[in-house]
Amino acid sequence: MAHRRPPLMRALQLNTAVLVVEIAAGIGANSFSLIMDGIHNLSDEVALLLLVFAYTFRAGLSGRLLRFANLFNSVGLLARLCVSCLARCRAPVLSG
């Protein structure tokens, strides 16, 4: 499974670059959506880091870390969805 680490490390590096650019641009442009997307990328970042660790350790521990990484990413996406829904409910957008 060690052959999976280099692509995961590259994905982690690219995601870090996207995270930094999105949050910096969001703060600079006062854009809540860019900041929220950057926070979503932070949950992806932690999940990728856990996957790198999971492929580093032995099989039993690795399986538990993979499940935890998937759970963490799912919870992060659910939290982002909830925050977006609450924001939309507080300030509905009228179409037309």
Q: What is the pLDDT of residues 31-87, one digit of tens each?
A: 888 888 888 888 888 888 877 877 777 666 667 777 887 888 788 888 888 898 888
Q: Is residue 9 part of a domain?
A: yes
User: Rounded mean pLDDT of 15-40?
Assistant: 89
How far CA 5 is from CA of 22, 33, 52, 54, in Å, comes to 25, 31, 6, 9
Please tell me the number of Cα atoms within 13 Å of 93 on its side-chain side: 6
pLDDT at residue 71, rounded to an integer: 84
Q: Is residue 95 part of a domain?
A: no
Query: What is the rounded distance in angstroms from the CA atom of residue 4 to the CA atom of residue 42?
Result: 21
Query: What is the rounded distance in angstroms from the CA atom of residue 53 to the CA atom of residue 70?
Result: 13
DSSP assignment string, 5-72: HHHHHHHHHHHHHHHHHHHHHHHHHT-HHHHHHHHHHHHHHHHHHHHHHHHHS-HHHHHHHHHHHHHH
Give how many domains the chain has, as a whole number. Answer: 1
Residue 90 token pair: 């507080």
Give pTM, 2 decimals. Answer: 0.55
Q: Is residue 96 part of a domain?
A: no
Where in the sequence is the domain holding 32, given as residue range(s)? Answer: 2-90
pLDDT at residue 92, rounded to an integer: 80
Residue 90 in this model has a pLDDT that exceeds 60: yes
pLDDT at residue 72, rounded to an integer: 82
Residue 24 in this model has a pLDDT that exceeds 90: yes
